[in-house]
Amino acid sequence: MRALFLAILLRELRLAQRRPVEALLPVAFFIVSASLFPLGVGPEPQTLRTMAPGIAWVGALLASMLSVQHLYAADHADGSLDQMLLAPQSALVVAAAKSAAHWLTHGLPLIVAAPLVGLMFGLSWAALGALMLSLLLGTPILSLLGGLGAALTLGLRGGGMLLILIVLPLAVPALIFGAAAVAAVEAGVSPSGHFSLLGALLIATALGTPWATAAALRISTE
Amino acid sequence: MPDARASLPAPVLAAVDLGGERGGRPLFRALRFALLPGQVVWLRGRNGRGKTSLLRLMAGLATPAAGAVHCNGVPLPRAGAAWRERLLFIGHANALKEDLTVVESLRFLARLQGRHCTAAQLAAALERVGIAPLAARPVRTLSQGQRRRAALARLALPQPPSVWLLDEPFDALDDDGVKRLNALLSEHAAAGGSTLLTSHQALTLDNPAPIPLELDPAVPAWVPAA
């Protein structure tokens, strides 16, 4: 089981490494979309600082949704997905490995780029740390939920938009607690409650979504 | 592979009153046949008769509309991992990644089946299908025929006697490729493996003689439900 997980994970990483630009596009989207807000809202520092956690989190959420759309599509088109589902192990491993690979190639770069966005909005160092920690707990949730959405909309025309509509409501709790944790630090309150809830959300998602994704993959490939 | 099961012949795959449909339209009904170790069965039928659908049903990738597929007497969903370990399905698509090299793709596909192949085994498999010099080339630089050969190289990897389900394996192959594939099919049958394949061109395989399975006469007379 671990061998299959590692085989798929390593393959995804190798594929991402062969197309480095494609892997960095969501990060570019994240930074550019966040940098639009000061232009639209105005340069008032206090306003921007209040909005920063929410903007960073919404940006990360949308960047994840855009990048997750192709998680299964290419493998479905070239027959690789059939072969993965025919592996002796459960399709659960496939779903888990694909989401893990998505997080490593698309979630982790968002966390690395987050301080840049934070600095752009004048967040304090403590708030920057909280933002990174909240994204560290939150982006795996987005990759897992996105994987489920990608599996559900596999092979559908206009599946990309549908995926976003399916996943966004599910991702709302992560958005609320993630942004609230950063806001709490900014306000000088302890963020530990928000982090605990975010951690609990991550555990629940990690336990639940691979099953649903595996089932969705089986249905989509029929 | 020093495995006790490795010496067992391939499992018997049987269609029991199998019915298939596509988009709500019945393709075939009450289909009964068995694929025994050592056999090569040639699935024939016009375009759109459901050859590919039948192969996917037999692989367990799709759920039959009626009946069941049995592996050694156990219906497919329950036969599970034990069945998939003994199955090699090569569909119409080659399941190769444009950005990976030929040998990387082959290694990955073998890993999916739980087989860890040495570099020598992979090289030998590529040699068997005549594309050893292309091993380090990215798949995107290969022609259609070369890609097909790369996909078929999985057949030349060391494996216990298994069931091969091949969808148009001769597609895009030249005469040399056809000969090499015939040799692989003969060896596989002699070792106790079985093969179910589709091909729109006449088979040149003579040992074992392919057993034709005609899908056309099984045309379901479609009667609207009263």
Residue spans of the domains in chain A: they are 2-220
Q: Which pLDDT score is estimated for A83?
A: 94
Which of B81, B89, B91 is facing A89, going by the closest CB pair? Answer: B81
What DSSP element (H or E) covers B220? none
Instruction: Please tell me whether the interface predicted TM-score (ipTM) of this complex is above 0.90.
Output: no
Binary contact (A82, B60; C-beta < 8 A)? no
Q: Residue B33: which pLDDT band, with cuts at 50, 70 and 90? A: confident
Q: Which pLDDT tens digit goes with each residue over B50-76?
A: 889 999 999 988 888 888 899 888 888
A-chain CB neighbours of B104 within 8 Å are 11, 14
Q: Average of pLDDT values for B36-58?
A: 89
Residue with tokens 């990897």: B157
A215 touches chain B (CB under 8 A): no
DSSP secondary structure letter of residue A167? H
- On the question of pLDDT at A36 being above 70, the answer is yes
Task: Give the residue from A99, A94, A63 showing the smallest Cα distance to A80.
Answer: A94
Residues with Cβ within 8 Å of A93's Cβ and at least 6 positions away in sequence, in order, are: A1, A4, A5, A8, A87
User: Order of strands across the sheet with B66-71?
Assistant: B25-35, B13-22, B66-71, B74-75
Max Cα–Cα distance, chain B, nearest Å: 62
In this structure, are strands B40-44 and B66-71 parallel, antiparallel, or unpaired? unpaired
A-chain CB neighbours of B82 within 8 Å are 88
B119 touches chain A (CB under 8 A): no
Give the separation between CA A92 and CA A206, rounded to whole angstroms: 11
Note whether B170 and B181 are within 8 A (CB). yes
Binary contact (B89, A82; C-beta < 8 A)? yes
DSSP secondary structure letter of residue A107? I
Note whether A112 and A31 are within 8 A (CB). no
Give the separation between CA A176 and CA A162, rounded to whole angstroms: 22
Give the separation between CA A184 and CA A146, rounded to whole angstroms: 27
B60 touches chain A (CB under 8 A): yes
Give the separation between CA B26 and CA B10, rounded to whole angstroms: 30
Q: Which pLDDT score is estimated for B6?
A: 52
What's the pTM value of the predicted model, to 2 decimals?
A: 0.89
A62-99 burial string, b = 16+ CB within 10 Å, else e?
bbbbbbbbebbbebbebbbbbbbbbbbbbbbbbbbbbb
Binary contact (B114, A19; C-beta < 8 A)? no
B58 touches chain A (CB under 8 A): no
Q: Residue B4: which pLDDT band, with cuts at 50, 70 and 90? A: very low
Give the separation between CA B196 and CA B205, rounded to whole angstroms: 13
DSSP secondary structure letter of residue B12? P
A-chain CB neighbours of B84 within 8 Å are 86-88
Task: Give the residue from B78, B84, B123 showing the smallest Cα distance to A4.
Answer: B84
Q: Which pLDDT tens digit goes with each residue over B138-186?
A: 999 999 999 999 999 999 998 888 899 999 999 889 999 999 999 999 9
Q: Which pLDDT score is estimated for B7?
A: 59
The beta-strand segments (E) located in chain B are 13-22, 25-35, 40-44, 66-71, 74-75, 87-90, 163-166, 194-198, 211-214
A-chain CB neighbours of B97 within 8 Å are 11, 15, 78, 80
| B154 to chain A: closest CA residue | A83
Q: Average of pLDDT values for A190-203?
A: 95
Crossing angle of the two packed helices A159-186 and A192-220, in degrees rounded to 10: 170
DSSP secondary structure letter of residue B26? E
| B107 to chain A: closest CA residue | A7
Q: Among the ranges A5-9, A36-40, B84-88, which has the highest mean pLDDT value? A: A5-9
